[in-house]
Structure 1
Amino acid sequence: MWWKNATIYQIYPASFRDSNGDGIGDIGGIHSQLDYIQSLGVDAIWLCPMYDSPQHDMGYDISNYEAVYPPYGSVSDIEQLISACHARGLRILLDLVVNHTSDEHAWFQESRSSLSSAKRDWYIWRPARYDAEGKRRAPNNWRSCFGGSAWTWDETTGEYYLHLFATQQPDLNWENRETREAIYASAMEFWLRKGIDGFRVDTANTYSKDTSFPDVPVTDPRTEWQYASHLFCNGPRIHEYLREMAGVLRKYDAMTVGELPLTKDIEDVLGYVSAKEEKLDMVFQFDVVDLGTGADRRYSVEPRSWTLSQLKERVRATQRLMDGESDGWSTAFLENHDQARCVSRWGCERNVELWGQSAKMLAMMVASLSGTLFVYQGQEIGMVNAPASWGVEEYKDVESRNYYDFVRQTSNGDPVALAAARTALQHLARDHARLPMQWDASPHAGFTAPDATPWMRAHDNYPDVNVKRQALDGQSVLSFWKRMLAVRKEYPDVFAQGVFANVDRLEDDDEKLFIFEKRGEGRKLLVVLNFTESEQEAGLEAMLGGKGKLLLSNTGEGESLRLLRPYEGRVYLV
């Protein structure tokens, strides 16, 4: 199983590289950088959706699974990319988005055409409710993940359709076998036959809903629409559906990594990834990346509202899948297209020296964890969130816009509330991961032609933080990531396959140092990380007992065994 000691590089097509000067990244741009990607030492790439789409949710609203969004290229371009990856020994994964389609998909157009349509039951339609005054109401009070009602009224047939995400993303009805068969043929086998190596499975636990669609208790009195994820995540038939899907994938020896939000208990996670269950090969757990976000609404939180002890506990929770007693497999990641940049969340970006130190330290932490490692484009050069000076108009994401509009409406435009919303977006918005990749110091960070208008503005820091500059510096964040990935691959028993264990320290260290072990075959790693901007007492001599070999350091070799510098990290083989 190639993926068990692999690093997978995630690519957001719109923002990676533009090859034709229209300001939008494309398949040709990805193809042009395969040598760079290979030089990182990764084993595979994962493309975010490149399918045809009206782009209401950046390609996660698919209008045709068997076509490519024209600004990105064509099916032929993807076929050439698959061949080019395989020629370099790289695997390629696509995004599988099958909880919903676009409302422009032919299936939905037919489904909404009439109550008697042959595809009516391919989506989730319900009649209106009426209150005591005779006013039409949605079938229930569920809130969409992007805010507002999860139901939209359709005038053509006089019913509501369900959409857990944007209005333009109607949910498919997985209860219908014919629908499922069409999904497998169009969204999966069409591409598997072309030679892709697997899928990242979007919202993998939402396909089965509570089909009674009951109202949920009011937890947010500011709005009619309420948090209801417990009724559409981990539903009654979800494991049946995933096992059926896995049967299709096995015919092509394809791997899967599922997105698994709102699934906290390890026993529940194992239900998805246990090898004997034959469903998903691994999943993305959200314990770590949800740290410091709002409990009910993601952005309703003060920036950097987390503690190191909380981070330790969440890392430990995800690593339990690899404790040696289960047959599950884990993933390690700090960034993706739905997350803000990790240095801005858990490191230090305001000081140039500490920015680099903290970016390397976070690389050391995540790459030392067990499971398959995922690295998001730009993470390898320490890209950070958009500057606080940028106006809210720079935020393009549907979730960001909807949240800001929600605050404006519920606060009657209160400037204090709007300022807090903007601050929260600057800290956590999905937009930060979608800024153009920073290739060099030329206009637009070398992402597109100098005279083009990029679909998103390049970060102000691109003259200093870019691939070209870091490739020439042996001490750069990029150079460190390459060393880190090479070392990780060299010692699979203690990195990808090792068993995680916290190292008990004094309580005073809980918010300063993160120290853990990874136990392998007759040896272990000792990982020591300083999460502060000041020197800290480490006491490494006692922990190592003179037996440790320094594998990696983000400050150079020959350091004191007594002190750790600000944001210093080290990995020892014992």
Structure 2
Amino acid sequence: MPDNRIADLDWWRGAVIYQIYPRSFNDTNGDGIGDLNGVTERMDYIASLGVDAIWLSPFFTSPMEDFGYDVSDYEDVDPMFGTLADFDKMVEAAHDRGLKVMIDLVISHTSDRHPWFKESRASKDNAKSDWYVWADAKPDGTPPNNWLSLFGGPAWEWDSRRCQYYMHNFLTSQPDLNFHNPDVQDAVLSAAEFWLKRGVDGFRLDTVNFYFHDAQLRDNPPLGAGEMPSTVDPTNPYGFQDHLYDKTRPENLIFLEKLRGLLDRYPGSTSVGEIGADGQAVELTASYTEAGKRIHMAYSFDLLTPQHSASYIRRIVDEMNVGTENGWASWALSNHDVKRVASRWGEGLDLKKFAPLEAALCASLRGTPCVYQGEELGLTQADVPFEKLQDPYGIRFWPEYKGRDGCRTPMPWVKDAANAGFSDADPWLPVAEEHYDKAAFEQDEDETSILNRNRAFYAWRRTRLSLQKGDMSFLDGPEDTLVFTRSHDRETVLCAFNLGTAPTTITLSGLDLEDLHAPGFSGKVEGTTIALEGLDAAFARVRS
């Protein structure tokens, strides 16, 4: 394929990335599961949003026990999603519309059906015997240490072929690769280059701080007194440990420099890493995204929590800004792993006001915003009954934790069509009944819809470099408000958000403000005063 990466190496800084979960986006072959041709078919819709890039969750060959995050072939498309030719056609369609294409790179682990693991488990002396993390049992037969799996239980599974345990941070069918072996590093970098050669513009790096483990296999200590478990699921004992040794090892920095070297050979390509780190998000984002050295940007789960007060958001963002002066964060309020923000933060609120507000807030922070499919429509979390659950994480911890299926239900396209126009067949997860009224093509006809308000804001944002690449400083405002400036190339834009439902007034002495009349918001700026309705925002140019 021709290389369509662009000369602007900095395009990713402040770009809006639209995350697509292919299984649930659009089904064109009638099997109830979305596919790559479905993404291509909706490319005009994606481009109409005013986003700059798409990120596709995994579509590689996989037994789908973790829905593609268990890869059995890094260099092919699972037949469920189509073919390599379909992928090439999709990339071409995106590039023709000025959209970049990023794909999930899942290299901390593979499926247990990957040929590498099949060879590794066959004996202790084959060519790939140490490509995975193998360890002998303790004398009493128990696992080698106390490491836990994020999906519940020990992070070790006994293998009767080798009579050893292998490590798995997730499902037992997802054995962890041994990154201490340089051959493993070369193999996953070769897989990444396969896709770069096909024209992708970058990677979302799944569990980017999980690549290395402690070679001595030391036990993790418990959390310190007063520390709270920080996993998405509070019922999971994984959160009770201080994960010093099973992830976030210092050797990872050296590998990320090798990965950056590969990306730099394809100018215009980029990377965003998913950091799952208890209390270390700022420190790791700073070191992992240090300018020009490692990956380009990273996101953590700090705004993917139930906490959402103005003071909490300010603290999280301010700490990130201060701590990553030479790096770059990415922000997401929803994704395929957490409860949708419209339910997590917007429960009980007017979604026609809340959904555009949260989208504008995320897109106004210093960093690169990620928008999860359906977030532009204001979709709420679906309640999937137990008998229809697919997520092994949810099945294990139900009913206290219902897993991730509720944010992965199919995209609604047509209000009055079967399955909301997602598929002619019964979909792999049911379409939420309340999502039909929020269908994309229904909202497309309404100028005041959540969809069209978000489109208008993203289009307006493209005219303001300050909101894309500028520095950021917080100002004090009333309770429930966030007030900050973004400054770039002699322009300073003030952003004011009222997260509360009651009207409020913000007075900023010493500033001369000119209202920029951001579309979709009714906030009024006069001199040094900003008047905001509930769930409202205003943007102004700072003249002095």
Question: TM-score normalised to the size of structure 1?
Answer: 0.85
Equivalent in the alignment of 1:199 = 203
Matches within 5 A, 1:125-524: 125-131=134-140, 136-185=141-190, 187-217=191-221, 227-253=241-267, 254-262=269-277, 264=280, 266-276=282-292, 278-289=293-304, 291-292=305-306, 307-320=309-322, 326-348=325-347, 350=348, 354-387=350-383, 390-404=384-398, 418=399, 421=400, 425=402, 429-441=403-415, 442-449=417-424, 452-492=425-465, 494-505=466-477, 509-510=478-479, 512-524=480-492
What is the CA–CA distance in structure 2 between the aligned matches of 1:558 and 1:372, rounded to whole Å?
A: 27
| Preserved CA contact (<8 Å) 1:143 1:228 | no
Q: How big is each residue's C-alpha offset from its partner over 1:334-364, in whole Å with a ceiling of 9 and x where there is no partner?
A: 122112211111224x46xx11100011011
SS at 1:153's partner residue?
strand
How has the CA–CA distance of structure 1 residues 557 and 500 changed in structure 2, closer, same or farther, with 3 Å as cutoff? closer
What is the CA–CA distance in structure 1 between the aligned matches of 2:22 and 2:217, rounded to whole Å?
A: 36
Instruction: Please state if 1:120 is matched with 2:123.
Output: no
Q: What is the CA-CA distance between 1:309 and the residue it aligns to?
A: 1.5
Q: How big is each residue's C-alpha offset from its partner over 1:349-391, in whole Å with a ceiling of 9 and x where there is no partner?
A: x46xx1110001101111111222221111111111114xx53
Equivalent in the alignment of 1:19 = 28
| Preserved CA contact (<8 Å) 2:523 2:536 | no
SS at 1:78's partner residue?
helix
| Preserved CA contact (<8 Å) 1:553 1:571 | no
| Preserved CA contact (<8 Å) 2:285 2:299 | no
Q: How big is each residue's C-alpha offset from its partner over 1:200-232, in whole Å with a ceiling of 9 and x where there is no partner?
A: 111111112111112234569x99976352212
Query: Is the deviation greater in 222-231 or in 453-462?
Result: 222-231
Q: How big is each residue's C-alpha offset from its partner over 1:492-521, in whole Å with a ceiling of 9 and x where there is no partner?
A: 1x202222222213xxx33x2222222333
Q: Using the aligned pairs only, state the percent identity.
A: 36
Q: What is the CA-CA distance between 1:196 and the residue it aligns to?
A: 1.0
Q: What is the CA-CA distance between 1:468 and the residue it aligns to?
A: 0.9
| Preserved CA contact (<8 Å) 2:30 2:423 | yes
SS at 1:84's partner residue?
helix
| Preserved CA contact (<8 Å) 2:13 2:468 | yes
Matched to 2:365, the amino acid is L
Q: How big is each residue's C-alpha offset from its partner over 1:140-169, in whole Å with a ceiling of 9 and x where there is no partner?
A: 111101111100000111000001111000
How has the CA–CA distance of structure 1 residues 182 and 543 changed in structure 2, closer, same or farther, with 3 Å as cutoff? same
| Preserved CA contact (<8 Å) 2:532 2:538 | no
Q: How big is each residue's C-alpha offset from its partner over 1:409-452, in whole Å with a ceiling of 9 and x where there is no partner?
A: xxxxxxxxx5xx15xx4xxx422321111111112111111xx1
SS at 2:104's partner residue?
strand
What is the CA–CA distance in structure 2 between the aligned matches of 1:177 and 1:61, rounded to whole Å?
A: 22
| Preserved CA contact (<8 Å) 1:551 1:573 | no
What is the CA–CA distance in structure 2 between the aligned matches of 1:286 and 1:223, rounded to whole Å?
A: 16
Question: TM-score normalised to the size of structure 2?
Answer: 0.90
Q: What is the CA-CA distance between 1:555 and the residue it aligns to?
A: 4.5
What is the CA–CA distance in structure 1 between the aligned matches of 2:236 and 2:404, rounded to whole Å?
A: 23
Structure 1 unaligned regions, length at least 5: 293-304, 405-417
Structure 2 unaligned regions, length at least 5: 1-8, 224-228, 230-234
| Preserved CA contact (<8 Å) 2:145 2:217 | yes
Equivalent in the alignment of 2:3 = none
Matched to 2:533, the amino acid is R
SS at 2:484's partner residue?
strand
| Preserved CA contact (<8 Å) 2:453 2:519 | no
Of 512, 524, 532, the match for 2:500: 532
Q: What is the CA-CA distance between 1:130 and the residue it aligns to?
A: 2.5
Matched to 2:64, the amino acid is Q
Q: What is the CA-CA distance between 1:403 and the residue it aligns to?
A: 2.1
How has the CA–CA distance of structure 1 residues 205 and 557 changed in structure 2, closer, same or farther, with 3 Å as cutoff? closer
| Preserved CA contact (<8 Å) 1:150 1:165 | yes
How has the CA–CA distance of structure 1 residues 314 and 124 changed in structure 2, closer, same or farther, with 3 Å as cutoff? same
| Preserved CA contact (<8 Å) 2:352 2:450 | yes
| Preserved CA contact (<8 Å) 1:553 1:569 | no
How has the CA–CA distance of structure 1 residues 480 and 321 changed in structure 2, closer, same or farther, with 3 Å as cutoff? farther
Matched to 2:38, the amino acid is G
How has the CA–CA distance of structure 1 residues 66 and 138 changed in structure 2, closer, same or farther, with 3 Å as cutoff? same
Equivalent in the alignment of 1:408 = none
Query: Is the deviation greater in 459-468 or in 8-17?
Result: 459-468
| Preserved CA contact (<8 Å) 1:287 1:315 | no
How has the CA–CA distance of structure 1 residues 242 and 443 changed in structure 2, closer, same or farther, with 3 Å as cutoff? same
Q: What is the CA-CA distance between 1:556 and the residue it aligns to?
A: 4.2
Equivalent in the alignment of 2:226 = none
What is the CA–CA distance in structure 1 between the aligned matches of 2:412 and 2:525, rounded to whole Å?
A: 32
Matched to 1:114, the amino acid is S
Q: How many residues align?
A: 517
Equivalent in the alignment of 1:547 = 513
What is the CA–CA distance in structure 2 between the aligned matches of 1:368 and 1:166, rounded to whole Å?
A: 37
How has the CA–CA distance of structure 1 residues 516 and 432 changed in structure 2, closer, same or farther, with 3 Å as cutoff? farther
Q: What is the CA-CA distance between 1:551 and the residue it aligns to?
A: 3.0
How has the CA–CA distance of structure 1 residues 116 and 562 changed in structure 2, closer, same or farther, with 3 Å as cutoff? closer
Q: What is the CA-CA distance between 1:393 and the residue it aligns to?
A: 3.3
